[in-house]
Amino acid sequence: MAILINAETRVLVQGLTGRQARTDSANCLAYGTRIVAGVTPGKGGQTVLDLPVYNSVRAATRDHAVDASVIYVPAAAASDAAMEALEAGVKLVLITSEGLSRQEMARLVASAAVKGARVVGPNTNGIIAPGLSKLGGIGGEDPADIYGTGRIGICSRSGGMSAEIGLSLKAGGFGVSTAVAMGGDRVTGGRLLDYVRLFEDDPDTDAIVIYGEPGSGNEAELARHLRENGLRKPLVALIAGLFQENYPAGMSFGHAAAMISAEGDSASAKRALLREAGAIIAESVSHTPRLLIEAGLQPTLREEIET
């Protein structure tokens, strides 16, 4: 079992005719993802990667059952593309585009909630359920080199760091149930807490690893949840960005959301909040497997742990 996607998830790619979408979709198909069609307005009737291309999501869903859509369109059109998918009944919409406005995301999040759907991203490189399926560019050409199949859930505010965590876990003998790059923009469709709750409810996830950074209220919200409800599963938190505390407030580094605007936005403050709430704080990504072992979990990918 995994969260959000599985081997049966049927996927639509909006913007399939673009270069990045073609590259990522080819890798997804090779991994086993069930992509059923693409959508590019004005290019309906074309075939890309042996997949039919439609002019609209509504036209595609008339011919194909669709569970999820991956959006590869410029930021200026991404909100409309996502809304088109939601209005067509797609229940999981993943937005790779970067830089959607707060107003656009608020509208999408509200619409998804009404329709019982989920939005992942924007500014995400995807989701992977190792051995089952993947959406977006996560894992690259050969995801098996990065993500082993196992029982550790990953949620990261950085797509690149989700891969670093996956590699570290694999080196330490641990596999992954699902890895979610939640997106690096200021407003995202899902909050860190949303994904942690999904992992808490997943019977095939034994522990959770999160990657956080300065800016946004994600980590503080999660810490409040843990204080009020306790930990149901071990949770290891890697919070990067201590260096950023040496710079003036209001400067972002990397992701648009990685900005210290108030004292509680700093990596130090977030580490303290999560530690007090019961999370295990990792000083570096390489420490993660050891911390999981100390929390009582056993490696499943190999007998000897590399240190």
pLDDT in tens, 73-87: 999 999 999 999 999
Q: What is the mean pLDDT of residues 99-119?
A: 96
Contact 37, 69 (CB under 8 A): no
* Class level of CATH domain 10-120: alpha beta
The segment(s) of the chain belonging to CATH 3.40.50.261 are 146-294
| Chain position carrying tokens 């599985």 | 6
Q: How far apart are CA 223 and CA 168, in angstroms?
A: 24
CB atoms closer than 10 angstroms to residue 106: 11
pLDDT at 264 over 70: no
> Is 255 designated active site?
yes
Q: Report the CATH superfamily, name and number, of domain 146-294.
A: Succinyl-CoA synthetase domains (3.40.50.261)
Contact 152, 208 (CB under 8 A): yes
Contact 79, 106 (CB under 8 A): no
DSSP state of 168: H
DSSP state of 60: H
pLDDT in tens, 22-54: 999 999 999 999 999 999 999 999 999 999 999
What's the chain's average pLDDT? Answer: 91
Question: Whose CA is closest to 96, among 115, 117, 68, 131?
Answer: 68
Of the residues 64, 225, 255, 287, only one is catalytic, namely 255
The segment(s) of the chain belonging to CATH 3.40.50.720 are 10-120
pLDDT band at residue 303 under the 50/70/90 scheme: very low
